[in-house]
Amino acid sequence: MSEQTLYIVATPIGNLDDITPRALEVLAKVDVIAAEDTRHSQKLLSHFNIRTPLVPVHDHNERQQAEGIVQRLAEGKSVALISDAGTPLISDPGYHLVREVRQAGFRVSPLPGPCAVVTALCAAGLPTDRFVFEGFLPAKAQARIQTLQFLSKEPRTVVFYESPHRILATLEAMVEVLGSERQLVMAREITKTFETFLQGTLPEVLDLVRNDPNQQKGEIVLMLQGAPAAAGDDLDAAAEQTMRTLMDVLPISQAAATAAKLTGLNRKVLYQWALSQQSIDGSA
């Protein structure tokens, strides 16, 4: 472990056994830990018998605290940054601090570990080769609608965080803007006792959540199937390459079905594109 270093330390999102030995070593040995909520983080540190001092670094004081942390580094000390759970800076404070530390010429060293986005996505059964993380949707209804409209044609899997008290409003807005065909996976309380994954069309997931108050509690990740290409649209370069590779070894119906699973695009659109390419190639 190095002096004059800011360590970015991922902490468990639920199950405390998910913390890494390296994270525990760094948290125990640094001079101070910058925490989003010191009272919350103290419980984690007490569980592992870590007595390192804590200082608060959150949305309301991050710019001011950055100066003090840079000063600590200048004095030869080391600092760890943690959030309430998961990887710092991912929909959590820390960007301004990291920027200031780097601009001051000190080292920033990240420790990999739990992150709700990746943990949820790898178990969702949606395309993961390309995805977009949007964080939390706006709290106000009109801004939420506008953001969903902006994302409505996004072809990649779209990942959101959502709070329990807004989950119904968000799902209702998704149905209103995106319709009834798009698939959604909702992950709740990942790694905890009541971990659940709900999957279905947007209306189906909305009904499940509306009819079960337990699904309106806890930490929530929403993973939305990307928009299918409209009939007649050109494929993007990656999808086209996938189709051409598969068409070399499979009939076009199988190639389209396989490519649909790999890219998240509509099978019929891929099939029609393949037919059009056969027609072009045949007339060349």
pLDDT tens readout for residues 32-45:
999 999 999 999 99
pLDDT tens readout for residues 56-78:
999 999 999 999 999 999 999 99
Inter-residue contact 108 to 102 (CB < 8 Å): yes
DSSP string, 81-114: EE-SSBSTTSSSS-HHHHHHHHHTT-EEEEE---
Residue 120: what pLDDT?
98
User: Where is mean pLDDT largest: 30-34, 257-261, 274-278?
Assistant: 30-34
Looking at the chain, the whole-number percentage of residues with pLDDT higher than 90 is 82
Residue 268: what pLDDT?
82
Report whether pLDDT(282) > 90. no
DSSP string, 157-190: EEEEEE-GGGHHHHHHHHHHHH-SS-EEEEEEST
Report whether pLDDT(138) > 90. yes
3-state secondary structure of 136: strand
Chain-centre distance for alpha carbon 35: 21
Residue 236: what pLDDT?
82
Report whether pLDDT(231) > 70. no
pLDDT tens readout for residues 180-204:
999 999 999 999 999 999 999 999 9
Residue 278: what pLDDT?
64
Residue 201: what pLDDT?
97
Residue 284: what pLDDT?
41
Report whether pLDDT(131) > 50. yes
Closest by alpha carbon to 169, among 195, 132, 143? Answer: 143
Report whether pLDDT(230) > 60. no
More confident residue, 205 or 279: 205
